[in-house]
Structure 1
Amino acid sequence: MTLSKPNLILTFTGDDLPSGHSAQQTVADSQIVRHSIRITEQLLDNLKSSSNQVTLQISRDCPSIEDIIGTDFDVRAVLKDGSDVIFTGFISTSFSWSVTNSGEQALNITMEDVGTRLFNRPFIETGHTLMDCTASSAVSAICSTVGVTVSSQCMTVTDRVFKVVDGGQSCRDILNKMLYELGYVYRFDNLGELRLFQINFPSFSKDLLPTLDGSNLKVTGNKAIGLSKSIRQYRHARVTYTELGTVQDFLVYRNTTGNDASHQYCNFSLSPGEHFDGTEIYSASDWAAALLDQFREPAMIEACNAASETATVGSNEILSVSDIHTTVVKGNDITYSIVPAGGPYLRIDAH
């Protein structure tokens, strides 16, 4: 692809830039080495989703080089041709730049698609969660977790997904396995938004395939067709699995913060405006600041098997909770909510 007016828009996501340096910078056409841009796009890799990338060189006089090399945070990048968006992604942390006796050389950078960077993050940090929804809903939940946008033109997949996800498992691993089993792959468009594509076509006709004969076969090394075969013998196979069960109407959470001789359960006072999230008490100002903090992770309270319920569920782990009913002894001036937070977790707010 030949770009007539290439330019690169960089957004530095961290706060470690030198004073006076803008978080958004533009690398102009004159600062991109001509004919250095290489765009690599691939939809499939062994019937699984692949990744796309762009490589280019930034000339030695570009002031953005200092910030690209110096930052420890992600750098979002949008490659344009004039005003048309060609590629959206992140600058790879692997690049080369050197100083020789002839002066500073161009910086060689690689732009990775959005998924290469963000899908390496885990869906949940610890514990387990249960996916019981359509494939499109699962894709949306995974993308929302890591900040990936699903394209409005993304196809809808109504196949049902029933899967237990372990803590620490990457979003890439979950998504690749789920879509592979259903016969789909994902890719990112030029805006960095995710789309799905179907790769298994049950109604595909073999009559649409071309026929190869002696007139269109190329002979290389005295061979036009090669065939190889490998025989493997399997004496036995072992299959293991874990059964999932469903129970209802049993205790999964009881707060005992501040309990004493006067009350065996949660027992403390909240001043006007204060909030309790199940782990700590916030003043009104601290709570307002916490809600605005985009890096704050809300307290996740893990549901557990109460001792009085072991006869029903034994010591098995809880993978998912829903349809929560609460029993609270409270004053008339206390407002509370206990809601599912995904998987075995609860989110609590009392004020």
Structure 2
Amino acid sequence: MLQSGLQFAAARQSALRMALNRSLPRTYATIRRSNETTASPKELAENPESQSAILRVYKPRTPGVRHLKRPINDHLWKGRPFLPLTFPKKGQAKGGRNVSGRITVRHRGGGAKRRIRTVDFLRNRPGPHLVERIEYDPGRSAHIALVTEKATGRHTYILAADGLRSGDIVHSYRAGIPQDLLDSMGGIIDPGILAAKTAFRGNCLPMHMIPVGTTVFAVGSAARRGAVFCRSAGTSAVVVNKNEETKDDGTRVMTGKYVEVRLQSGEVRRVSKDACATIGVASNIHHHYRQLGKAGRSRWLNIRPTVRGVAMNKGKEHRRILAGLLLT
């Protein structure tokens, strides 16, 4: 009986204490612990729920900007393009029709006026090139860089690597190793020292000069051909095999004619050892997180609506055959 009475008294005191705490106003402040996370910056960037730092959102002043999200690219050039390297897009846009007037590519047509930028995918001219500015190109998802050859002052457009900014210096080594670089190595070509002096972001190198495991973009397929792979925004490839053999003195020599690169899809392709590739990742890496916000913005980009076949009239929809009918 005594033990049960003590338990009842303790329960009564705790109930009174809780009621007193509810009735008294809170006149003090406590420190709120922040949500600590151990995720890497790459994991945070790939998480769609943590895109507030890399995407610009707008106040919903109009319905068209309520769902609008754009990557933050404040470093882009705000003015007009370099006109000598552009030409108007007239006659190329045929609304998805071929020469007979039939639609061969759906959802094409309209769009705003634009000028086509001539981009140098070969990058055969050697020597240092100064990056004048990074520009938006309406004809592609990646950004382009206007570079000036220091020796001649010649201007060209190239695909911009992620992180490339105005004032940087890029080189192209497709024509061979320059004499000053060869003299700095003592006249002996050491693959490790050569990679340490040439494999920088934005530099264009032949595949046999790129170390295994390097991330590249704008990859070519043949010796005298320009870049054909990994040209869209945020795309890249990795050099996985160069068919090298180690000599008795410890140096590694490439014996094959091809270099194997692994694309983002997982496919491994063989390209010529003299094909070109640019060090780094294609610019505008957060392009796939963007949201246009309204249908009219798609029309500005030359994209027409996508209509389901079941919503069309009988004569316009595509013929559908059930799989079960084919098996009978």
TM-score band w.r.t. shorter chain? under 0.3
Give the TM-score normalised by structure 2.
0.23
Structure that is richer in helix per residue: 2
Structure number with larger C-alpha Rg: 2
Q: Which has the higher contact order (CA 8 A, sep 6+)?
A: 2
